[in-house]
Amino acid sequence: MSVLVIGSLIVDNTLYVEKIPKKGETLIAQSSLRSLGGKGANQAIATRLAGADVNFIGCVGDDSEGILYKNHLENHKISSSSIITSDQEPTGSAFISVDEGGENSIVVNPGANHALTPEHLDKHINLFKKSEIMLLQLEVPMETITHACHLARANDLSVLINPSPWNPAFNTEDFPCDVLILNEIEAAQISGTLNMTKSLESFRPFGLNMIIITQGSEPTLFMSGSGQIMKSRPPSVKVKDTVGAGDAFTGALAASLLEGRTVPQSIHFANTAGSISVTKAGAQGATPTKKEIESFLSNYQ
């Protein structure tokens, strides 16, 4: 079995700066990096590197970036046959500022990602039938995400949703899922509270199997369907770049669950993947392999 990822493909343009610029402020970058990103592709590659077979549905433009991205996926042993090419929109792009503490701000032009339709998913229904877990984010149209959730339900897939970037149209009734993966900002936006324990408890009526809230270097909180709240502290590392850390976490979590580890074991595995990723620059280029995660775990313990 495999993990099915439906989501975005974006070319990242990263500028490393002393501090994040304020409104109207012009800064000189210390260095720059052009790389491949997008939450969908980041999570697909993170899942693959963490040891799982991956199928991926997304959309790129009819341009050199789209060709580059398809080849990139193939190099990671992820088939590009289900990547749609739009002749109306360019491949998505993002412009990222990263400060000296590794924190970032991001502006995204979705481009072809917004051309991914429910009909495209129907054409690849075979991928739903041969997958066990589905990963979703919110960088493609909401109607496409809703349709993906219902196709997953019809084919008995476990659905993991990372509702990022946050969209107020998101709710767990129209987007049925089993596991919700949030960072502390997204959790506060949904629940209306900055208290993460109260935020977790606010999700109990939705009947989810698991709600997970990551908090950067602070302990990851997670609550089971029965209401039991647990925590898992990520390894302490020197932070260089936090871009893609959440995607590394999510992909490693999906791969670990597919492999049959328990939820606490999988979250510990995912925390480690996220910690390793922030020690390097970029998103996909900083994502660790299963071997790297397991080696780090053995040394850390």
- pLDDT tens figures, 22-70: 999 999 999 998 889 999 999 999 999 999 999 999 999 999 999 999 9
Task: Collect contacts of 192-196 with beta carbons under 8 A, ≥24 apart.
Answer: 196/221
Say what percent of the chain tops pLDDT 70: 99
pLDDT at 171: 78
Alpha-carbon distance 238 to 254, whole Å?
25
Does residue 191 surpass a pLDDT of 90?
no
Q: What is the CATH number of domain 2-9+38-84+113-300?
A: 3.40.1190.20
Type and span of the H or E element at 297: helix 290-300
Kindly tell me if the per-residue pLDDT of 301 is higher than 80: no
**Predicted local confidence at residue 254, as pLDDT:** 98
- Predicted pLDDT of residue 204: 80
- The rounded distance, in Å, linking the Cα atoms of 92 and 165 is 15
Cα–Cα distance measured from residue 172 to residue 186, given in angstroms and rounded to the nearest whole number: 14
**273-283: average pLDDT:** 87
Please report the pLDDT score of residue 189 as a whole number.
85
pLDDT of residue 168: 85
Q: How far apart are CA 113 and CA 180, in angstroms?
A: 22
> On the CB side of 103, how many CA atoms lie within 13 Å of its CA?
7
**For residues 198-227, average pLDDT:** 87
Residues 114, 89: Cα–Cα separation, whole Å: 8
Q: Please tell me the distance from the alpha carbon of residue 26 to that of residue 5, in angstroms, as a whole number.
A: 38
The percent of residues in the chain predicted with pLDDT above 90, rounded, is: 66
- What was the pLDDT predicted at 298? 85
103: left (phi over 0), alpha (psi -120 to 50) or beta: beta
CA distances from 58 to 34, 55, 76, 231 (A): 20, 10, 16, 33
Of 186, 195, 212, 187, which Cα lies nearest the Cα of 269?
212
Average pLDDT, rounded, for the chain: 92
